[in-house]
Structure 1
Amino acid sequence: MSSLELVAAALGVIAVWLTVKQNIWCWPVGLVMVLMYSWIFFEVKLYSDMLLQVVYAALQLYGWWQWTHGGGDHNGRQISRLSAKALASSLLLGALGSVSLGYVMATHTDAASPWLDAALTAFSLVAQVWMAQKRLECWALWIIVDVIFVGLFISKELYLTAGLYALFTLLAVQGWRSWRRTPEFAYA
């Protein structure tokens, strides 16, 4: 465990906690955290996770904009649900991304756990986009992905990061509960 991993983990907890609370500061704190984790994952040859962190950096900016200027009236997003079609389309994109990235990582790199890492990367991107759009379903997907990440990080001896993702799982459960209780939640 490095000091970089320790700081990144602390920032990750703060970022997710702020997200649960729908605090706009979740995005800049998250941006710093994902940039730090991109280096950590590079060092342990989890290249899909490294690339995921780089994409997360862009999605942090997207989420920040969505939460402040998105939505129909451009005053920021409100919590809503995905339609069945949007849910299915997003999950299909996650599956296609998993296979595509897994193939590239398995055949062109020395990546550790290329297929699992790729699947977790693809579905994390789906969850992150849903979070940026304040879709309630983001929390359910985060719960599934985070539980699997815990096992992957334990296998790579990233114990602090595994603990962080276990905490992320608990925060995702809290996020699901909290966002469902929000008065402006649109049950559409």
Structure 2
Amino acid sequence: MTALEIAANGFATASIVLAGRNSVHTWWTGILGCALFAWLFAETRLYADVTLQLAFIATSVAGWRWWVLGRGGEPAPVTHAPPRGLALLGAVSSGVALGYGALLYHFTDAYAPFIDSFVLTLSLLGQLLLVRRQVETWPVWIVVNTIAVPLYLSRGLTLTGCLYAAYWCNAWYGWWRWRREASAC
């Protein structure tokens, strides 16, 4: 466990807990955590995760704006994703994961390229749903965390793996809380 892993996890944990509580502060803490994680994952040859962290930084800027201003200057409400759109995004995410995994497998020394790619694409799906404040973000994060925990533990990222297990619990809480907020609207 390194100081970099501890710092990355500290900011990421704050961001994830704040997201479950529907707090706008999830975004700036997330940007800092993602920047640190990009560095950590580059050092451990989890290249799809480096790409993911850079995408998270970009989407965090967009999410921060959406949560504060929404449409017409009002904060965006918690809503449900349309089922058709969700199914399409799930299919695209799976296809991209297989393609990116194949690229990593053939052209890099990546560890577990297909599993790492599924963490990448499903995390992007979860992040897009989070940006839009859609309840369905949370079941996606449950799947991501279920896959990520053994991946990170297998690379010696014990703190990260253990925290992702805690994030799995937070995702269940976020799903419960956001469903309540969406039904109240």
Match of 1:129 in 2: 128
Letter matched to residue 88 of structure 1: A
Match of 1:82 in 2: 81
Match of 2:42 in 1: 42
Whole-Å Cα distance in 2 between the matches of residues 13 and 25 of structure 1? 12
Shift of 1:11: 1.2
The question of whether the paired residues in 2 share the 8 Å contact of 1:78 and 1:185 is answered with: no
Match of 2:53 in 1: 53
- Bigger Cα displacement from structure 2, 27-36 vs 5-14: 5-14
Match of 1:150 in 2: 149
Whole-Å Cα distance in 1 between the matches of residues 3 and 173 of structure 2? 28
Is it true that 1:3 corresponds to 2:8 in the alignment?
Answer: no
- Coordinate RMSD, CA, aligned: 1.2
Match of 1:178 in 2: 177
- Bigger Cα displacement from structure 2, 37-46 vs 103-112: 103-112
What SS does the corresponding residue of 1:23 show, helix, strand or coil?
coil
Tell me the TM-score normalized by structure 2.
0.96
Whole-Å Cα distance in 2 between the matches of residues 69 and 93 of structure 1? 29
Aligned length: 185
Shift of 1:74: 3.8
The question of whether the paired residues in 1 share the 8 Å contact of 2:80 and 2:182 is answered with: no
Tell me the TM-score normalized by structure 1.
0.94
The verdict on how the C-alpha distance between 1:70 and 1:46 changes in structure 2, with shifts beyond 3 A counting, is same
Kindly, what percent of the aligned residue pairs are identical?
28
- Bigger Cα displacement from structure 2, 145-154 vs 95-104: 95-104
Whole-Å Cα distance in 2 between the matches of residues 112 and 185 of structure 1? 44
Q: Could you tell me which runs of 5 or more consecutive residues in structure 2 were left unpaired when the two chains were aligned.
A: none
